């Protein structure tokens, strides 16, 4: 039994869609080869049945030889068993190939999303990413699923054509020439189908983006009376998706009709020719029956050929879209340093802010957007002049470290941090590395113990998507507890208590100091309750630190009043 998905899909060749297909085929060459083998056996078993029936008629019935008839019937029964067994195996490997390809593409999409990080929205719309996972990846899997039947169709077509040539040169030539002509008749439709499918999936991705944005901001929309505007936007885009779907369906309907019509016409032609040969006495009765059987059988490989053209076209569209994401480059470049210096402070050259290696630093900003920008710079989510300065050595650019190193050392929790759906325990500790005691301690610091106690199954409670089953203040405290469990050397919190009452905020502030002892903590907030526990404080005005020192120095500064005006009562 093969476990899916594979732990690591590998490194794809992203230079072109066909190179990507080649990589995908090579990465699954074992199951694909097995599927092709059983597909060939399965379809060949069907292809030889008309021949065996014809032989049974000629050598058993026409020759009045019961033993020969019984022998050929036995051969037919054996071929039937082979066909049944190979059909089961073919289907099993076909499903494996489909799932393997689809899962591999989904894993690659997820890996690209993680690699791009904060740069993703500027590269690819979230709705398009959803469409890649739910639509494009399965279409790519369908192309590899078909490979087993396609292999059998190619081999059985060649075998039947040779058998027909052996029976009648005319019939063999009709098959060998006619099938390429059938494929040529379908080919002109593939390019417009490709274009329309691309447009349809792009429109569907934009519709998904509008839907997710609307749902995510529903509370805000209701507060400002914007539901109707977004509803109209969604309705307009829905009609565009519908129109694109109709345009695609028009081509698909023609392709599907041709899959039935062209093979049907071809079989009728072959049947007519075979009947004429039988009337003239050029072929025997058994050969005529075999010929009719082959004519009916050829519908299967012919339809498989046209189906393959359709599915490969759909898969090509999906690969093209996914490659756009895989080839997208992050906005940031990273260095190769992995050894983070001990007891180093972080200095933001743009504002002049100095983040100490230990202690709580509260940063008050005269304008609300300045705090988020500072957090992005310190956490290197934007390119900025930020350095890491050990006590006795030269300063090192933050950009000289690897991304993994920076993400381990500096954890940023902004005011819009997401709570994911699922089991609360997994939300707090995704790696599963923390004990219940660690989780309880973090919940206590975030004043979130009563939240968990009030849930029906405690830490094992399933919370809704984006934590919608929790209030705003509860989500904020869960996010803080999750950040504390990371236990980073430098923790940057942006307005961590903006959604809680003053008493809760005071308790969190007191506990945070003790919990983060010996490590650096930056709290970006103008709240006096947070300022009172600060070991150090800074005031930022117009993108510049005007004061950094004791909390008393900040509290006495005139510009602090402007920051206080933003603090909720």
Same domain for 400 and 267, yes or no, is no
Residue 335 located in a structural domain: no
Task: Quote the DSSP letter at residue 359.
Answer: E
Residue 332 located in a structural domain: no
Q: Name residues whose C-beta falls within 8 Å of residue 245's C-beta, 6 or more positions apart in sequence.
A: 200
Q: What would the 3-class secondary structure string for 23-68 be? A: HHHHHCHHHHHHHHHHHHHHHHHHHCHHHHHHHHHHHHHHCCCHHH
Q: CA–CA distance from 55 to each of 73, 298, 345, 469 (Å)?
A: 10, 19, 89, 72
Same domain for 108 and 57, yes or no, is yes
Q: Which of 295, 326, 357 is the last residue of a domain?
A: 326
CA–CA separation, 316 vs 313, rounded Å? 5
Same domain for 350 and 292, yes or no, is no
Same domain for 502 and 371, yes or no, is yes
CA–CA separation, 421 vs 423, rounded Å? 7
Max Cα separation, the chain?
A: 117
Q: ω into residue 5 within 30 of 0, thus cis?
A: yes
Same domain for 371 and 273, yes or no, is no
Q: Which of 298, 326, 354 is the last residue of a domain?
A: 326
User: What CATH code is carried by the domain that includes residue 115?
Assistant: 1.20.1560.10
Q: Which of 326, 355, 380 is the last residue of a domain?
A: 326
Assigned token pair, 319: 């690969």
Q: CA–CA distance from 197 to each of 79, 190, 262, 421, 479 (Å)?
A: 42, 10, 23, 32, 41
Task: Quote the DSSP letter at residue 136.
Answer: I
Given this model, what pLDDT does residue 417 score?
Answer: 72
Residue 569 located in a structural domain: no
User: What CATH code is carried by the domain that includes residue 376?
Assistant: 3.40.50.300
Phi, psi of 345 (to 5 degrees): -95, 160
CA–CA separation, 205 vs 188, rounded Å? 27
Residue 285 located in a structural domain: yes
Strands (E), 417-524: 422-423, 462-463, 490-494, 520-524
Residue 433 located in a structural domain: yes
Q: Name residues whose C-beta falls within 8 Å of residue 259's C-beta, 6 or more positions apart in sequence.
A: 186, 303, 306, 307, 310
Given this model, what pLDDT does residue 291 score?
Answer: 73
Residue 4 located in a structural domain: no
Same domain for 273 and 309, yes or no, is yes
Residue 333 located in a structural domain: no
Same domain for 307 and 172, yes or no, is yes
Number of domains in the chain: 2
Same domain for 305 and 359, yes or no, is no
Assigned token pair, 182: 């059938």
Are the C-beta atoms of residues 362 and 523 closer than 8 Å to each other?
A: yes
Same domain for 442 and 560, yes or no, is yes
Q: What is the pLDDT along the chain (569 residues), one digit of tens a residue?
A: 567 778 888 899 999 999 999 999 999 999 999 999 999 999 989 888 887 877 777 777 777 788 888 888 888 889 889 989 999 999 999 999 999 999 999 999 998 888 887 777 777 777 778 888 888 899 999 999 999 999 998 998 888 878 877 777 777 677 667 766 766 666 666 667 657 766 776 676 666 666 665 555 544 444 444 456 666 777 777 787 788 778 777 777 777 777 677 767 777 777 787 777 777 777 776 777 777 777 777 778 877 887 888 788 889 888 998 998 899 887 788 899 999 998 899 999 999 999 999 999 999 987 778 888 999 999 998 889 999 999 877 899 999 999 889 999 999 998 777 788 888 899 899 888 889 999 999 999 999 999 999 988 889 888 877 677 788 888 899 999 999 999 899 999 999 998 889 999 999 999 999 999 999 999 999 889 999 999 999 999 888 999 999 888 887 788 887 666 655 54
Provide the residue range defining the domain that includes 321: 17-326
- CA neighbor of 442 nearest in space, from 454, 429, 455: 429
Residue 240 located in a structural domain: yes
Same domain for 176 and 32, yes or no, is yes
Same domain for 26 and 172, yes or no, is yes
Same domain for 315 and 351, yes or no, is no
């Amino acid at each position: 039994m093969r476990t899916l998905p594979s732990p690591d899909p590998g490194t794809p060749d992203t230079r072109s869609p066909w190179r990507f297909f080649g990589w995908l085929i090579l990465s699954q060459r074992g199951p694909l080869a097995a599927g092709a083998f059983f597909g060939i056996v399965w379809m060949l078993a069907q292809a030889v049945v008309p021949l065996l029936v014809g032989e049974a008629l000629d050598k058993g019935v026409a020759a009045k030889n019961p033993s020969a008839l019984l022998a050929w019937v036995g051969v037919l029964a054996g071929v039937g068993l082979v066909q049944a067994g190979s059909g089961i195996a073919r289907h099993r490997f076909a499903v494996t190939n489909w799932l393997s390809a689809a899962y591999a593409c989904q894993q690659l999409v997820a890996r690209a999303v993680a690699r791009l990080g904060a740069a993703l929205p500027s590269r690819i719309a979230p709705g398009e990413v959803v469409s890649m996972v739910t639509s494009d990846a399965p279409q790519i899997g369908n192309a590899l699923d078909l490979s087993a039947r396609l292999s059998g169709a190619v081999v059985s077509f060649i075998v039947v054509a040779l058998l027909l040539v052996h029976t009648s040169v005319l019939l063999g030539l009709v098959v060998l020439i006619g099938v390429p002509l059938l494929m040529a008749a379908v080919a002109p439709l593939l390019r417009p189908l490709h274009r329309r499918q691309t447009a349809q999936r792009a429109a569907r991705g934009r519709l998904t983006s509008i839907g997710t944005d609307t749902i995510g901001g529903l509370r805000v929309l209701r507060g400002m009376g914007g539901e109707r505007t977004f509803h109209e936007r969604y309705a307009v885009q829905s009609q565009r998706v519908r129109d694109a779907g109709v345009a695609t369906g028009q081509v698909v309907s023609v392709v599907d009709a041709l899959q039935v019509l062209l093979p049907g016409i071809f079989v009728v032609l072959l049947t007519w020719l075979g009947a004429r040969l039988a009337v003239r006495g050029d072929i025997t009765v058994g050969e005529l029956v075999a010929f009719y059987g082959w004519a009916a059988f050829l519908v299967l490989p012919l339809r498989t050929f046209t189906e393959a053209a359709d599915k490969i076209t759909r898969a090509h569209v999906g690969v093209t879209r996914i490659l756009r994401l895989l080839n997208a480059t992050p906005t940031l470049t990273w260095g190769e340093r992995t050894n983070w210096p001990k007891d180093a402070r972080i200095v933001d050259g743009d504002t002049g802010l100095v983040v100490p290696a230990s202690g709580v630093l509260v940063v008050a900003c005269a304008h609300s957007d300045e705090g988020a920008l500072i957090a992005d710079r310190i956490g290197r989510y934007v390119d900025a002049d930020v350095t890491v300065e050990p006590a006795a050595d030269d300063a090192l650019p933050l950009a000289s470290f690897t991304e993994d190193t920076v993400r381990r050392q500096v954890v940023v929790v902004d005011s819009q941090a997401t709570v994911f759906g699922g089991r609360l325990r997994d939300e707090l500790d995704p790696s599963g590395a923390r004990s219940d005691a660690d989780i309880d301690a973090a919940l206590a610091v975030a004043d979130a113990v009563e939240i968990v106690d009030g849930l029906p199954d405690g830490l094992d409670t399933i919370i809704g998507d984006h934590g919608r089953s929790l209030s705003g203040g509860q989500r904020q405290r869960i996010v803080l507890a999750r950040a504390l469990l990371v236990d980073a050397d430098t923790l940057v919190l942006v307005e961590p208590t903006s959604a809680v009452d003053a008493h809760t905020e005071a308790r969190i502030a007191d506990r945070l100091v003790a919990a983060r002892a010996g490590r650096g903590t930056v709290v970006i907030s103008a709240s006096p309750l947070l300022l009172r526990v600060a070991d150090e404080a800074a005031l930022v005005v117009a993108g510049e630190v005007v004061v950094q020192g004791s909390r008393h120095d900040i509290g006495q500064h005139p510009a602090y009043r402007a920051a206080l005006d933003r603090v909720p009562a």
